Structure 1
Amino acid sequence: MTDPVDLEASAQLVELAAGRLSVEALIEATLARVAARNGACNAVVSPRDPEEVMAEARAADRAETRGPLHGLPVAIKDLADAKGLPTSHGSPVFAGQIAQGDSLHVARMRAAGAIIIGKTNTPEFGLGSHTYNPVHGATGNAYDPSVSCGGSSGGAAVALAHGMVSLADGSDMMGSLRNPAGWNNVYGMRPSWGRVPSEPGDDLYLHRLATNGPMARSPRDMALFMSVIEGPGVQPEGWPFEPTLLPQGQIGAARLGWLGDWDGAFAFEPGILDLCRGAADVFGDLGCKVEDLAAPMPREVIWDAWVTLRNFSNAAGKQPLLENPKTRDQLKPEAVWEIERGLGLSAMDLQAASAGRSAWFKRAMALFDEYDALLLPSAQVWPFALDMPWPKAIAGQEMDTYHRWMEVVICASILGLPAACVPAGFGDNGLPMGLQIIGAPGRDQQVLELAEAYHRASDWPGQRPPQG
C-alpha cells in the first residue's frame, strides 16, 4: 500500500475528501516520515510539539468545513513568521525569537486548512543558494546529503522530496525557489511580481526584487497552492490578475526559445547543458517548436544592474544590523559585503542600474512577442560539497562574487517574470538538475500549463530519493 505521504498533495486531498484517509492518519504518517528521514538531511527545523499537531489533526477530522488545503501538512520557510514558532532567519541575531503573528501568506495557508508542523531551513537571511547557517546547521541534498540542496528555499525542497510535507512555501530574490527545486527533483515557481503580495512595509516602490511562491511535487499542486497564497495586498502593482487554475497541460504548438549558455557567456559544469537541452526537447515531442536563441544582450548589462539593485535592497533592510556593534560581528561576510556595497551607492549608480534593467525589459518584451516562453538551466553547477561555502570557479572561469555562479537565474528575477523550475533529470553523478520555463509578465498560467504538459511526459519526481 502506498504511504500517504508519498502521494501528491492533490491526491491526498482526494483521499481525504472520499474518507479513505483521515487527517489524523496523514499527519501521523508525516511525523513518522520526519522522524525517519530528517536526521540525515536537516530540512525541518523548529518542529512543533507532536501532540499539539496531532490534536489539530483530530480537530480537522471533526471540522464541518474544509478549505482547499484541508489537513495538508506544511512547514514554513524560516524567513517567514508562523505564530508561536521561532523565526531565526538563520541568524544568531534573531535565534529564539518567537513570532507573535503569521506572515500574510502563512495566514492564508492556515485559513485554507493547512497544518503547520515546523519550519524549513534557510541560509542566513536567505543570502546565497546554499542552505547552511550557525543556528540550525546545514541541510543536505535529498539525493545525497553530503552535498548542497541549494537555497535559499533549500529546506523546503528537501522536505518535499522526502515526503515530509505535502506543499512548501518559499521565496525567491535571485533563484531561491528555482535552484533548490532543480537540485532536489521537485517543482518551484517564482510568480509574476505582485501575484503573491509581500508584507506591508515602509517602502512599496524601490525594492521590487523578491517574492514568495509555491513549491510542490507537481505543477497542479503548485497551482493549487498558488491559488491560496495569491491575491490582493498592500502594494502598488499586482492585482487584478486572472486567478490561478489547475493546469490541464494544454500548450498547443507553443514556440519556445532556448537560451542555453547565453552564447558562451555563462560557464557550466560538464553535463548540465546537454541534460537540460534534452529536457527542453521534450517540448518538441509534445508539438512545440524549440529554437536556439542568440544572447539577447550582453550579460554584464543585466548583471551590473542586478548586483547594484540587490546591494541597495539588502542595505536598506539590514543597515541597522551592521551599525550596531552587538550584531555586526554576528553577520556572515556575504551579508556585510551586501550592506557595505549598498551604503556606498550613489543616486547615479541607482539610475544606471535602473537604465540597465529597463534595457533588458524592452529586449525581453520583444522576445515575448515571438516566443511563448524562454528556457534555461536552473543552475550552472551540480550540487557541491556541503562544507563548501560557494563555488569559486566554474569550468575554469573564476567567480567574482559569492553568487555569480547563480547568474543564469537573474534574467527572470530582475524583471519579476513568472519562472517555473521543472526537473530535468539526473546526471551521471546521480544528482538532479532543473530547467527554467520563463514567461512574460502575468503569464503565470501559461507557464504552469507548459510545466504540467512536461510533467505528464516525464514525471521525474517519480524517481524518489533514497530512504537513507
Structure 2
Amino acid sequence: MTTADDDVCFRPATELAAMLRAREISARELLDAHLDRIDRWNPAVNAVVTLDVEGARAAADAADAALAAGEPVGPLHGLPVAHKDTHATGGMRTTWGSPLHTDTVPLRDELVVARLKAAGAVRVGKTNVPEFAAGSHTFNPVFGATHNPYRHGLSAGGSSGGAAAALAAGFVPVAEGSDMGGSLRNPAGFCNVVGLRPTPGRVPTWPAAIGWSQLSVQGPMGRTVADVALQLSVLAGPDRRVPIALDDDPSAFAAPLPERLDGLRVAWAPDLGGRVTVDPTIVSVLAASVPVFEELGATVDDACPDLSGADEVFGTLRAWLFEATFGDLARRHPDKVKESIRWNAEMGATLSGPDLARAETAHTKLYERMVAFFERYDVLLAPTTQVLPFPVEMEYPTEIAGVHQDNYLEWMRSCTLISATGCPALSVPGGFTRDGLPVGLQVIGPPRADRRVLETGHAFEQATGFGRRRPAL
C-alpha cells in the first residue's frame, strides 16, 4: 500500500464524499485502502473488534454500481463506517463487550445504524467498548483493551473509545457512539478527534427501554467538525417511536460552517466554577489555546454557570437507569458483570420515590439556571477531561492532582456535570502536551443550540490545526 493510499484514509469525510460522487475514487478503492490500514495497525490498537470484509466489499461494489447507473445517492455514499459494539447491527455480531453476548447476532439494525446505512455509508465492522459501555476507559473481558493511537499502552478513553481510536488511526472516516457521562467527548479528547454529545432527542435512540430519559444520547464522531456536522445531518430528525425526538430539519447541520466568530460571547471555566479537579497540564495547554477565540472576533470572560445539584441529578438518574437496565442481569449473573456496573445498579435499587423527586426538582432548577446563563453568553468552554490518557492496565484514575477519586465516575465529572444540564457539548482537539499527548476542549452551548457549538468548534479547529496532527503508529 502506498503513501498516497494512506493519505486518502486521513482525508476529511466531506472531501471523500465529494470525491466519491465525482467518481475520482471508487467506493471499493476507498474501502480497500481502509481495510489495508486496519490489517496493518488494528492488531496493536484493537479499535475494530468485528470485521466483515466480504460484506463491506459487496456493499462498496453495490454503491459503485448505483452511482454508475445514475441512481440517487445519500450524503455518506460509499464512506466506510464502523459502529459502536453496543449498537445493534442486523446480521453482525454485537457483544456489548460482555461475555454474556459473545455470540449475539441481532436480527435488525437499531435506528442510528439504519440511518447511516440509508445515507449510503458502507458498514465495515464494530468498534470496541467497555463492558455495557460503563466507564470512560475501553476494555472488556471479550476483546481486551483499546490502545491510544498517540501512545501505545495508554487509554483511548470510552465508552466510544474504539470509535475514537479507529478515527485517529485512519481505519474509518466516520463513526458513531453514545454518551451518558462523556462517552462521545472523553475518547475524542484522548484521541485528538471530534465528538458531539447532541441535545437529547436530536439523534433519536430506538429501541430504548426508557424512551423518555434524556441522560444517554447517541451521536457522531469524526476527525473534523464538518465531518461530524455532515453525519448529524443524517442522524438527526424526528421518529414517531421516540417520544423526545426533535422535529427540526436536520439538513441545516450540513450547511457550510463559518471561520470567524465575530461578536460571540464566550465564557471560559477551566475547573467548572471550582467543582472539578483538573490536571494542571491540561489547564495550561487549554489556557494557551483559548485566546484564539479573541483572535477570531469573540470576547472571552472567566465565567461559569451555577452547577449546584448537577452531581445529584446525574448520580441519581444514572443509578436509576442502571438498575432498570442491568439490575436483573447483575443479580442473575454476578460473576459475569463487572463490579462497577453491579455497584451502580445496587445504588439504583435503593432509590425511593422522594429520591427521584428531589433529583428531578434539582434537574429543573439546573436547566433554568443554564438558560439564564446563556442569555449572557453564547458558549461555555471547559476541559473535556480532567486527566491525560492513563495506562490501559488501570481501570480508572484514583487520584487527580493529589485529590482522591472515590469511584469510577468521579474522574469524569467535567463531562457528567454537563450531561445533567441537557446542553449540547462538543469536544474538539485543544492542543498537545509537551510530550505529545492530546488535550480536548469542550464547547458547550444553550439547550438545542447544536449548530452553534459546531460553528464555534469549527472556527477554532480551522484556526489552530490541532486536529491535523496525526499519530505515528
TM-score (structure 2 length as normaliser) = 0.95
Any conservation in 2 of the 1:223–1:247 contact (CA below 8 Å)?
no
* 2:444 paired with 1:438: yes
Any conservation in 1 of the 2:130–2:159 contact (CA below 8 Å)?
yes
Instruction: Output the CA distance in 1 between the equivalents of 2:452 and 2:402.
Output: 38
Aligned to 1:20: 24
Given the alignment, which residue of 293, 311, 314 partners 1:306? Answer: 314
Q: How does 1:309-458 map to 2 (within 5 A)?
A: 309-324=317-332, 327-458=333-464
Any conservation in 2 of the 1:220–1:246 contact (CA below 8 Å)?
no
Aligned to 1:256: 266
* AA at the equivalent of 1:42: N
CA 1:11–1:297 in 2, change beyond 3 Å: closer, same or farther?
closer
Residues 246-295 of structure 1 show CA distances to partners (whole Å, capped at 9, x for unaligned) of: 34225331001111113433212231112122222211110101100156
2:317 partner SS? helix
* 2:185 paired with 1:178: yes
* AA at the equivalent of 1:255: R
Offset of 1:208 from its aligned partner?
A: 1.9
Aligned to 1:289: 299
* AA at the equivalent of 1:333: E
Any conservation in 2 of the 1:8–1:221 contact (CA below 8 Å)?
yes
Aligned to 1:245: 254
Aligned to 1:149: 156
Q: How does 1:39-118 map to 2 (within 5 A)?
A: 39-48=43-52, 50-63=53-66, 64-118=71-125
Aligned to 1:271: 281
Offset of 1:83 from its aligned partner?
A: 1.2
Aligned to 1:215: 221
Any conservation in 2 of the 1:71–1:114 contact (CA below 8 Å)?
yes
Instruction: Output the CA distance in 2 between the equivalents of 1:111 and 1:295.
Output: 40
Offset of 1:202 from its aligned partner?
A: 4.9
Worse-superposed segment, 213-222 or 63-72: 63-72
Worse-superposed segment, 422-431 or 128-137: 422-431
Identity %: 42
2:178 partner SS? strand
* AA at the equivalent of 1:341: M
Instruction: Output the CA distance in 2 between the equivalents of 1:337 and 1:411.
Output: 20
Structure 2 gap ranges (5+): none
Any conservation in 2 of the 1:375–1:438 contact (CA below 8 Å)?
yes
Instruction: Output the CA distance in 1 between the equivalents of 2:436 and 2:119.
Output: 37
CA 1:20–1:390 in 2, change beyond 3 Å: closer, same or farther?
same
CA 1:195–1:83 in 2, change beyond 3 Å: closer, same or farther?
same
1:446 partner SS? helix
* AA at the equivalent of 2:441: L
1:145 partner SS? strand
Any conservation in 1 of the 2:151–2:437 contact (CA below 8 Å)?
yes
Residues 308-327 of structure 1 show CA distances to partners (whole Å, capped at 9, x for unaligned) of: 11000110111220232xx2
* AA at the equivalent of 1:229: L
Instruction: Output the CA distance in 2 between the equivalents of 1:463 and 1:239.
Output: 35
1:113 partner SS? coil
Structure 1 gap ranges (5+): none
Residues 301-341 of structure 1 show CA distances to partners (whole Å, capped at 9, x for unaligned) of: 211221111000110111220232xx221000000001111
Aligned to 1:189: 196
Any conservation in 1 of the 2:138–2:159 contact (CA below 8 Å)?
yes
* AA at the equivalent of 1:7: R
Instruction: Output the CA distance in 2 between the equivalents of 1:448 and 1:178.
Output: 13
Instruction: Output the CA distance in 2 between the equivalents of 1:216 and 1:291.
Output: 29
Any conservation in 2 of the 1:139–1:145 contact (CA below 8 Å)?
no
Instruction: Output the CA distance in 1 between the equivalents of 2:210 and 2:392.
Output: 36
1:424 partner SS? strand
Worse-superposed segment, 352-361 or 448-457: 352-361
Aligned residues: 461
Offset of 1:411 from its aligned partner?
A: 2.9
Instruction: Output the CA distance in 2 between the equivalents of 1:20 and 1:365.
Output: 47
Aligned to 1:203: 210
Cα RMSD of the aligned pairs, angstroms, is 1.4
Offset of 1:369 from its aligned partner?
A: 0.5
TM-score (structure 1 length as normaliser) = 0.96
* AA at the equivalent of 2:54: E
Offset of 1:297 from its aligned partner?
A: 4.2
Any conservation in 1 of the 2:304–2:380 contact (CA below 8 Å)?
no
1:146 partner SS? strand
Offset of 1:56 from its aligned partner?
A: 2.1
* 2:286 paired with 1:280: no
* AA at the equivalent of 1:315: E
